[in-house]
Structure 1
Amino acid sequence: MAVTQPITINTRIRENAQNLAGALEQHLLKSFAPDARKELRLFSAGEAADLLGISASFLRKLHFEERVPDVHTTAGGRRHYSAQDVLNIRHILEDKAKTKGAYLKGRAEGEKVQVLSFLNFKGGSGKTTSSIHAAQRFALKGYRVLAVDIDPQASLTSLFGYQPEYDFLHSGSIYDAIRYDDPLPFSEIIQETYFPNLHLAPGGLILQEFEHETPTALRNNVQPPFYARMAAALQEVEDQYDIIIFDCPPQLGYLTMSALCASTGVLITVVPNMLDVASMSQFLQMSADLLDVVSNAGARMEFDFLRFLINRYEPSDGPQQQVVAFLRQLFGEEVMTSPMLKSTAISDAGLTQQTIYEVERSAFHRSTYDRAMESLNAVNDEIEMLLQQAWGR
């Protein structure tokens, strides 16, 4: 009788990792052409008008009067717009607008860049889903956006069509711009995306090195210290953007604190059940204690706003309604008015590494798609209002 040889846990985990990586690569090859980058779909006239903040009839009039360029038109006469078409029309309308900033609402000269951190101590709270939909929505509305992935798991980077474990395994991630030993200029790690006006600073597993190297850097008094390195790195490129968005890791480490010290606004995502709320309580207390330490060390701790974003909300769920009411009673206006609904459309889009803004409406049941889209737009439009208020508008 053959004796079964014991297998070491490190060997088995490595085999599992290799098998999973291979399976994921095959899944991507089925979803996207080999060596191809993702492309953004075209938008209907109604969607384009909504993004521009005008009526569909006015958009038709602009075409009829030849005030805007022609776009892709089907045999049946329906116009379809690329994101670049929408941006071009936005610039044309802005040039003719009586009020400056009517169609390009980004920051004016002298106004500071808005830096948002999406964070929570607990995984699965919707940080990446919230941050990527916000970044894409703002870019489609004409803002110049930089998405910064500081999560070693790099889910945000993956959603933009990259394979972090291959594309940025050794170089090219945000780590290279904030590392202690010979950091690269921030501009060298920025990637363009298939969304006009939206760039990406990729994440990757190598970001864990920042967590490991920081204690030694603190002992050796390496400057700037960890809490100031993100802000210092961003200074090189911040004049090119209106909004910078951090997707933070699900832990309160040096990376998260560095992002917080560079931020002007904080959005804490929370799933409305008591276990998550209890976890968030611990997260908030730990955050306050650690931020006290870095504040005493000289870190900037001033924010324009802090909001709790209710995520994965099911309006028909009685216990969730009670938790949301509890949070609103406790935190008042710091709880965002608009929750992000739990939606099969969002999760199904994620199966092909896409967002709701990327998928066609025809790919889902219309009511499911529309409900998800309305929820996302309401959340992001509320965040946009906070940004505008921070600019004094």
Structure 2
Amino acid sequence: MASDVTINARIRANAETLSAALEHHMHTVFAPDARKELRLFSAGEAADLLNISTSFLRKLHFDGKIPDVHMTPGGRRHYSAENLAEIRKILEASAKTKGTYLRGRREGDKLQVLSFLNFKGGSGKTTSAIHAAQRLALKGYRVLCIDVDPQASLTTLFGYRPEYDFLDSGTIYDAIRYEDPLPLSDIIQKTFFTGIDLAPGGLMLQEFEHETPQALINNTPPPFFARLATAIQEVEADYDLVIFDCPPQLGYLTMSALCASTGILITVVPNMLDVASMSQFLQMSADLLDVVSNAGASMDFDFLRFLINRYEPNDGPQQQVLAFLRQLFGDEVMVASMLKSTAISDAGLTHQTIYEVDRSQFHRNTYDRAMDSLNLVNDEIETLIQKAWGR
């Protein structure tokens, strides 16, 4: 006997079942009313982030130049992100060269706005964006993450539940909508991660895609491609860096993020299907950017880079694709690649990143390999930012 359940009812039932299961998962991983907390860092990690030696860090403690930190019964020091920020300010105050320890914006430096994007889902956009934001925040940069993906994966990684916390309001949509937009400062959330604020994403963002055609007909100012840039202007003095996590499609949200950006990072998985998809993405992007450029959008980028993601160095075909891309694009392909790692995917099971999880939870070599890969990628991104500031 054929079922008389309509497809929309079936999909709705599936959505509710999945939502309940995810809710249960979040309650299992985190206490019901708890927010995520950032772990403490070892002396070695702290020294690396402060760009000093562990012996110099010990000497600073011995000389009483920096405050005491958490000490284990075995005499090992552990540092919170707040400790690192305080030590960084103390070191900067006595540094011979300004900006040695506080490497963010100085007077006259423009805000750096980076878009992580690709046409294809599963290319590692969100993973790349959040790890870059966290590494740079740990190194002292003031970071604003803006989640312009209606799926809101970046928002979820910061410990929020978009389908509950921001179902009807509170997302970046409220700051870029055409009717009565709110100041961006009204929707920015502090996160558990010191140095990072978040403008959340959520399903309401899809409304922007639906409303923009009518706004274009009505000539509603500012145009869609300028709305994110306009929103950011209100808060730009508070940050060194803005990071967009874009949706996996070339819609009005992605175009608005691109037009607000100073740097573009296109994530690429090195296989021919993904490269073919990227070829279409680049062609469509160029055509659409021509249109918005002619309409008055700024196309002034400091850099564009291809970030190789989920790379397996022992995979022969991947090596060939990477060599092919380097031959085509030269220096626009980043030197460092983000390795495919079970540590990164395993951390994701509990909505965490490599910078959040403790090394003891993983096989040491697996963890170190993933961490080294991420640090090389994100430190190369930092170099691009510094170069854009003329340093």
- Please state which band the TM-score falls in when normalised by the shorter chain: over 0.9
The one-letter code sitting in structure 2 at the alignment partner of 1:125 is S
The one-letter code sitting in structure 2 at the alignment partner of 1:345 is A
Residue 80 of structure 2 is matched in structure 1 by 82
Residue 198 of structure 1 is matched in structure 2 by 196
Number of aligned residues: 391
Q: Is structure 2 residue 149 aligned with structure 1 residue 148?
A: no
The one-letter code sitting in structure 2 at the alignment partner of 1:222 is T
* 1:181-240: CA deviation from partner (whole Å, max 9, x where unpaired): 000000001001111111000000110000000000000000000000000000000111
Aligned residues: CA RMSD: 0.6
Residue 220 of structure 2 is matched in structure 1 by 222
The one-letter code sitting in structure 2 at the alignment partner of 1:187 is S
Residue 251 of structure 2 is matched in structure 1 by 253
Give 1:96 shift: 1.0
Which structure 2 residues correspond to residues 234-383 of structure 1 after superposition, within 5 A? 234-383=232-381
Q: How far apart in 2 are the matches of 1:101 and 1:193?
A: 26
User: SS at the partner of 1:261?
Assistant: helix
User: SS at the partner of 2:260?
Assistant: coil
Q: How far apart in 2 are the matches of 1:5 and 1:13?
A: 14
The one-letter code sitting in structure 1 at the alignment partner of 2:177 is R
Q: How far apart in 2 are the matches of 1:316 and 1:6?
A: 52
User: SS at the partner of 2:33?
Assistant: coil
Q: How far apart in 2 are the matches of 1:4 and 1:239?
A: 62
Give 1:4 shift: 5.3
* 1:79-128: CA deviation from partner (whole Å, max 9, x where unpaired): 01111111110011011111110000001011100000000000000000
State the identity %: 78
The one-letter code sitting in structure 1 at the alignment partner of 2:223 is P
* 1:106-160: CA deviation from partner (whole Å, max 9, x where unpaired): 0101110000000000000000000000000000000000000000000000000
What's the TM-score, normalizing by structure 1?
0.99
Q: Is structure 2 residue 30 aligned with structure 1 residue 32?
A: yes
Structure 2 runs not aligned, ≥5 long: none
The one-letter code sitting in structure 2 at the alignment partner of 1:220 is N
* Aligned equivalent of 2:94, options 85, 96, 102: 96
Residue 15 of structure 2 is matched in structure 1 by 17
Give 1:6 shift: 2.1
**Structure 1 runs of 4+ with >6 Å offset:** none
Q: How far apart in 2 are the matches of 1:8 and 1:370?
A: 50
Q: How far apart in 2 are the matches of 1:255 and 1:98?
A: 44
* Aligned equivalent of 1:56, options 51, 54, 57: 54
* 1:344-365: CA deviation from partner (whole Å, max 9, x where unpaired): 0000000000000000000000
Give 1:261 shift: 0.4
Q: How far apart in 2 are the matches of 1:257 and 1:104?
A: 32
Give 1:342 shift: 0.3
Residue 138 of structure 1 is matched in structure 2 by 136
